[in-house]
Chain A
Amino acid sequence: MGEQAKKKNIIDLFIEGCRKGWNTGISNMMPNVIMAFILIKALNVTGLLKLLGSVFAPVMALWGLPGEAVTVLVSAFMSMGGAIGAAAGLLGSNVLNAKDVTVLMPAIYLMGSMVQYLGRCLGTAEVNSKYYGIMVGIAILNALLAMWVMKILIVMF
């Protein structure tokens, strides 16, 4: 460190990055988190969260997670930020613990924002749409396998 780049020094770069952080934080992360919290609240008020929890309990138990964790994965499919918010919301209401959230973390990204990225990634790259199905499948598989690996790795900490 203490190295000067020609165009911008480290301080300029850092401040510029912080500004980016503020902008994405306020305009992307916060709306997503708020939406997720509203969703969790709505699911709570209607009793659907409990229902989801009991329906998906046997499935999520494969990863040692409570059934409600499925809401994080479903949110992830729509938006990574939303899933982080959902995980935080469930953490706040003690449905998930820190370990559960850690297990979910890689999955949130590996199967994250699929709905958006079908257009923004596969659409832009002009991938043959006959592969869309299998690609979404692989991304979900990635996520599910990563949760197992994470669960095993967690034991070391």
Chain B
Amino acid sequence: MDEKKPVQQDDGIRWYSYVALLFAIVFFSGVLSTSKEWYSVFDFTVLNGSFGKIAAATGKALTFRGAGGNGAQDGFAFALSLLPAVIFALGVVNVVEGLGGLKAAQKLLSPLLRPLLGIPGACGLGMIASYQSTDAGAGMIKAMYNEGIINDDEKTIFAMYQFSGDGTITNFFSSGAALFSILVTPIILPFGLIMIFKFFGANLMRLYLKYEHKKNGSKEAA
């Protein structure tokens, strides 16, 4: 099926797609955040910076959010203080996506889908799509099922994979960016954990379906 030309020719994946992917992983990992060297420039938290401090009557330096606020007003001030991180994070995600970084991730993931989830490698696209948009990911499950690429069981397993922690990248790097500066671990750690548990949950579903078929006299789904 493959053309004589390099396969990367038409899928939008270039060498820099892998660089972009690697860059994103390092950038959000926080591994360089504590470095005092120039290369700490490749860290999200470092570049995100901090708000200026305002001296309070108590002698404590506060950000514009102040201290002791509550209710909707404090919620507004807090949300406002989160905006720079959200804007910045999605800016970077968009660059990585635009350079084909997510497609590169898809390409690396596809051969792993059968062993890891028991679903065809073709699901890679739907998987990457679901990281960005719940609706796009779910739409692709339905389309693949309708085209006969996945069967009923694979559809259920894939849906379970997406369902827990859906829209992963978009959600984590928008609302989650709010708490990036508070986290006591590198940003990538909770994110990586979410990614791992998505696979774990889908495999529980896979086991459950196996168990169910056994119980029903091994009647396989068509």
Contact = CB atoms under 8 A, between A and B. Distances in A.
Nearest to A18: B91
A127 B185 contact: no
Interface stretch (B2-10, B50-58, B111-119, B159-167): B159-167
A151 B189 CA distance: 12
B201 A17 contact: no
Given A17-B93, A80-B171, A85-B75, A41 B70 contact: yes
Interface string A1-42: 101010010100111111011101110111011111110110
B91 A146 contact: no
Interface string B85-97: 0111111111101
Given A110-B164, A139-B163, A142-B201, A157 B185 contact: yes
A135 B160 contact: yes
Contacts of A89: 70, 74-75, 78
Contacts of B72: 34, 37-38, 41
Interface residues of A, number: 79
Given A109-B168, A112-B171, A135-B163, A29 B95 contact: no
Given A1-B23, A112-B171, A146-B194, A17 B91 contact: yes
B155 interface: yes
B28 to A, nearest CB: 14
A109 B165 contact: yes
Contact of B182 (A34, A101, A109): A101
Given A21-B174, A33-B75, A93-B70, A157 B184 contact: yes
Contacts of B94: 13-14, 16-18, 20
Contact of A117 (B75, B90, B91, B134): B134
B193 A106 contact: yes
B64 interface: no
B66 to A, nearest CB: 10
Interface of B is mostly: helix
A146 B193 contact: yes
Most chain B beta-carbon neighbours within 10 Å: one of A28, A91, A114, A131: A131
Interface of B: 16, 19, 23, 69-72, 74-76, 78-80, 82-83, 86-95, 97-99, 130, 134-135, 137-139, 141-142, 145, 152, 155-156, 158-160, 162-166, 168, 170-172, 174-176, 178-179, 182-186, 189-190, 193-194, 197-198, 200-201, 204-205, 208
Given A25-B87, A126-B155, A131-B205, 15 more contacts: A10-B98, A13-B97, A17-B93, A17-B95, A25-B79, A34-B76, A40-B70, A81-B174, A92-B74, A93-B70, A101-B182, A105-B176, A105-B183, A123-B138, A143-B197
22 contacts: A1-B19, A5-B99, A13-B99, A17-B94, A21-B86, A21-B89, A24-B174, A29-B175, A30-B83, A32-B175, A98-B183, A109-B171, A110-B194, A121-B159, A121-B163, A125-B159, A138-B160, A138-B205, A139-B163, A139-B201, A156-B185, A157-B184
